[in-house]
């Protein structure tokens, strides 16, 4: 039921997640932030079991902090991705975390953003664009068609909204509200909390 979308732009990373939190047929929360900041320039977008997501993200955040305090330097996105994957891989055959993640980060050294796809089985892949959850079924083709590596911020935001609109249109379970965050050299910022309204509703009103 979770939908997470992310892609890398010219010198930023754009990530979006739906803000629903529910159990079976009940929506428990409609302002749930699934894009968790690990440090000043990295976001871990979590999907799957809510409890597992919380615990696992906490674990990663604390260990990344510990590294920063111990070594007086921040980890790169690649390192965090590898570390996270290692934690998932060792857990899968003992006490699996049912979480699928998108890790987005901006590295000041390379002045580039990067995005990683991680899942509960312990796979990890560096991607330019991707999604987790049901969104992956719908946005893959849109991003294949319209993504390019020189997307500036306005075009990127438009593309993201295009993706989210498609998710809202096609996913039978109502996920209208999405939170979009951006990571660039200045850090993490909340771009927008979008409420996507399907066009079809307007058509019905007009008929009457």
Binding site for another protein (CB under 8 A): 58-59, 62-63, 65-66, 69-70, 72
What is the three-class DSSP state of 126?
Answer: strand
Cβ 41 to another protein shortest distance, Å = 16
Enumerate residues 6+ apart whose C-beta is below 8 A from 140. 130, 131
Q: Which is nearer to another protein, 66 or 195 (CB)?
A: 66
CB 190 within 8 A of CB 26: no
Cβ 124 to another protein shortest distance, Å = 23
Q: Which is nearer to another protein, 51 or 174 (CB)?
A: 51
Cβ 59 to another protein shortest distance, Å = 7
Angle CA(11)–CA(34)–CA(104) in degrees, nearest 5? Answer: 25
- Give the DSSP letter of residue 138: H
Q: Which is nearer to another protein, 42 or 165 (CB)?
A: 42
Cβ 117 to another protein shortest distance, Å = 26
Q: Which is nearer to another protein, 58 or 189 (CB)?
A: 58
Cβ 129 to another protein shortest distance, Å = 32
Question: What is the per-residue DSSP string for 20-77?
Answer: -EEETTEEEESS---EEEEETTEEEEEEE-HHHHHHHHHHHHHHHHHHHHHHSSPPPH
Angle between helices 153-170 and 135-146 (to 10 degrees): 140
Q: Quote the CA–CA distance of 65 and 126 in Å, as a whole number.
A: 23
Q: Which is nearer to another protein, 1 or 59 (CB)?
A: 59
Cβ 11 to another protein shortest distance, Å = 26
Q: Which is nearer to another protein, 69 or 204 (CB)?
A: 69
CB 15 within 8 A of CB 102: yes
CB 38 within 8 A of CB 80: yes
């Amino acid at each position: 039921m979770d939908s997470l979308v992310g892609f890398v732009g010219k010198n930023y990373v754009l990530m979006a997640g739906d803000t629903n939190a529910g159990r079976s047929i009940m929506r428990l929360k409609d302002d749930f932030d699934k894009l968790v900041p690990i440090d000043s320039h990295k976001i871990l977008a979590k999907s799957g079991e809510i409890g597992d997501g919380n615990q696992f993200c906490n674990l990663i955040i604390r260990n990344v902090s510990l590294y920063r305090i111990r070594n007086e330097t921040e980890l790169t996105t690649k390192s965090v991705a590898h570390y996270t994957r290692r934690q998932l891989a060792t857990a899968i055959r003992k006490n699996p975390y049912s979480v699928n993640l998108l890790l987005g980060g901006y590295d000041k050294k390379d002045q580039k953003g990067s995005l990683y796809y991680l899942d509960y089985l312990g796979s990890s892949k560096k991607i330019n664009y991707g999604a987790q959850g049901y969104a992956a079924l719908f946005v893959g083709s849109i991003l294949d068609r319209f993504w390019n590596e020189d997307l500036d911020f306005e075009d990127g935001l438009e593309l993201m909204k295009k993706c989210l609109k498609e998710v809202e249109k096609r996913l039978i379970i109502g996920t209208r509200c999405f939170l979009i965050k951006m990571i660039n050299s200045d850090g993490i910022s909340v771009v927008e909390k979008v409420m996507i309204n399907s066009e079809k509703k307007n058509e019905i009103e007009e008929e009457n």
